[in-house]
Amino acid sequence: MTKPTGKLILAAVSSVVLISTADGNDIAQSSVVKIEVESYTIDFTMPWIKSDYVLVSGSGVIINDSYILTVAHVVDHPLAIQVTRAGQAEAYEASIAFINDEADLALLAVDDDEFFRQSRPIGLGKAAHLGDEVSIYGFPVGGVQVALTRGIISRIDSDTYSHSGHWNLVYQTDAAINSGASGGPAISGDRLVGLSFQGYDELDNTGYIIPIPVVEQFLKDIEDGQVDGLPGELFITQSTGNDQLLEYLQLPTDETGVLVRKQANRKEVNALLRDDDVITAIDSMSIAHDGTIEVSSGERASYFYYITQQQVGDSINLKVWRNAGWVNVRYPLTKRLSDIYSMSSNGSLYVPDYLIIGGIVFTELSHDYLNLFEGSVGLLDQYMDDLIKDYATERAAPIVVSERFPHKINQGYEFEDQILKSVNGKPVASLSELRTMLLGNKQSWIKLGFEPTKDIIVFSKEQLLEARDEIIDSYDLEQEKVF
């Protein structure tokens, strides 16, 4: 499956080495699965449009007698899922048992036990090291049989997961990861060390693997039968690599760490950290000036990776330098990563809400919406950091103008991609709040205020009601979505 997001894509294109199940390859025959998904796509600027069905293919791996492990983006907005084991012809119906879009991981269940007969679930391996050899199996485009590519772990780093837009640990490999191979197992020795999931479209022989520690966090998370997701970082930090900054902070010369710049406005945490605090260690692991910790022998990644390896509800210990002295902070991870951002991240079951006022379409601003404007510079770009790093007490997706249905009532109003901030001078934070404010409005005029231009749209409430039926009939819209 290919889905551009910035420079990242969910599959790279290059050559593969085909292997036949007749070769007696136990991993291919007993564990690797082809996944075919009949799905639908969403136009996030026009969420009222129902798209045509598309057929998406991907790969997976059997990890026990009940489940297939794959990546979430393969089963994005599914209508029907079929799975076929390597070397077999019969396809079986499958369903999503658990899914975590933040980590781009999913478990599929198959009701028919015959599917798992004579399969051999792959065992989970340990965290890989730089230079480890890796074999990647899957069903890439260009053929119908299982394929194998080989390479090494060429980098261990933190990077953006294209499906969710969140950062996490990744393994980079020079083994080709082809369209359709997403979700296929990456094997070192005879153990699973991760799943192939994305690549860079401008780099040859460069693919990325979701590492086994991320997989293990997901599997531990669902032990209670539900998906809590990844715990979120409730504070924002900056590096401390400047000598003058270090002198100002009076940090001991043998210490390193990151400076607290902003934290969540939440009662359970807002008294734990302060401005100018320096976090020098997390659970006894030293944090470098650049915000990295050691994740394996010699390899480093952002300390945020360590937070995502915990479970929602856990706590972490922070060693903090404050006012020229030491403080130990027990910090609770009470929120999901997705809950601390104002914008929704990519979700396999996410369909944006919308409301049409006087023919102007208001919808939820999301990563999916912004991804449609790759490379463009617009009004939204000025507010990207604030929108992504919105640590409001209550999570609410910003409201953006996405489209306009031409009608005389909205003539002259060109407000696409602006953020709605107020109704009749009162702040509005979500579409649900917008509906409530409109229904409760007793004034004869409705004035909508926008950021960052400070422009306004004004409608006569009487004329809005008169135009409503015309707009619904002219454009065949759902009545409950039009005000």
CA 147, CA 208: separation in Å to the nearest integer?
17
CA 54, CA 37: separation in Å to the nearest integer?
8
CB atoms within 10 A of CB 106: 28
- In this prediction, residue 58 carries a pLDDT of 93
Q: What is the pLDDT of residues 246-261, one digit of tens each?
A: 888 899 999 999 998 8
Give the pair of three-digit tokens for residue 335.
Answer: 């929120």
- Burial class from Cβ neighbours inside 10 Å (0-12, 13-18, 19+) for residue 150 reads middle
CA 186, CA 148: separation in Å to the nearest integer?
10
- Angle (nearest 5°) at CA 136 between 131 and 139: 160
pLDDT above 70 covers a percentage of the chain that reads: 84
As assigned by CATH, the class of the 352-481 domain is alpha beta
Q: What is the pLDDT of residues 284-299, one digit of tens each?
A: 899 999 999 988 767 8
- In this prediction, residue 109 carries a pLDDT of 96
CA 431, CA 434: separation in Å to the nearest integer?
5
- Residue 218 DSSP class: H
- In this prediction, residue 77 carries a pLDDT of 87
Domain ranges of the chain: 8-224, 235-335, 352-481
Fold match between 8-224 and 235-335? no
Which of 34-38, 226-230, 371-375 comes out lowest in average pLDDT? 371-375
Residues listed for the chain = 483
Question: Quick one: which of 173, 178, 167, 176 has its CA closest to 194?
Answer: 173
pLDDT at residue 29 above 80?
no
Tally DSSP H helices, then E strands, for the chain: 8, 30
Backbone angles phi, psi at 75, to 5 degrees: -105, 35
CA 405, CA 16: separation in Å to the nearest integer?
48
Q: What is the pLDDT of residues 121-152, one digit of tens each?
A: 889 999 999 999 999 999 887 777 888 889 99
Which of 42-51, 97-106, 232-241: highest mean pLDDT?
Answer: 97-106
> Which pLDDT band holds residue 20 (cuts at 50, 70, 90)?
very low
- In this prediction, residue 378 carries a pLDDT of 55
- In this prediction, residue 392 carries a pLDDT of 45
Which of 10-19, 166-175, 262-271: highest mean pLDDT?
Answer: 166-175
**Residue 147 CB contacts under 8 Å (≥ 6 apart), including other chains:** 16, 17, 18, 19, 137, 138, 139, 140, 178, 181
CA 376, CA 372: separation in Å to the nearest integer?
9
- In this prediction, residue 276 carries a pLDDT of 87
CA 301, CA 130: separation in Å to the nearest integer?
13
Backbone dihedral region of 283: left (phi > 0), alpha (psi from -120 to 50 degrees) or beta? left
Backbone dihedral region of 343: left (phi > 0), alpha (psi from -120 to 50 degrees) or beta? beta
- Burial class from Cβ neighbours inside 10 Å (0-12, 13-18, 19+) for residue 421 reads middle
Fold of 235-335: Pdz3 Domain (2.30.42)
The whole-model pTM stands at 0.82
- Burial class from Cβ neighbours inside 10 Å (0-12, 13-18, 19+) for residue 376 reads exposed
- Burial class from Cβ neighbours inside 10 Å (0-12, 13-18, 19+) for residue 14 reads middle
For 8-224, the fitting CATH number among 2.40.10.120, 3.40.50.1000, 3.40.50.720, 3.40.50.970 is 2.40.10.120
Say if residue 452 is preceded by a cis peptide, omega within 30 of 0.
yes
Which of 2-11, 69-78, 237-246, 378-387 comes out lowest in average pLDDT? 2-11
Give the pair of three-digit tokens for residue 324.
Answer: 């020229």
- In this prediction, residue 441 carries a pLDDT of 86
Give the pair of three-digit tokens for residue 140.
Answer: 């890439």
Which is higher by pLDDT, 184 or 365? 184
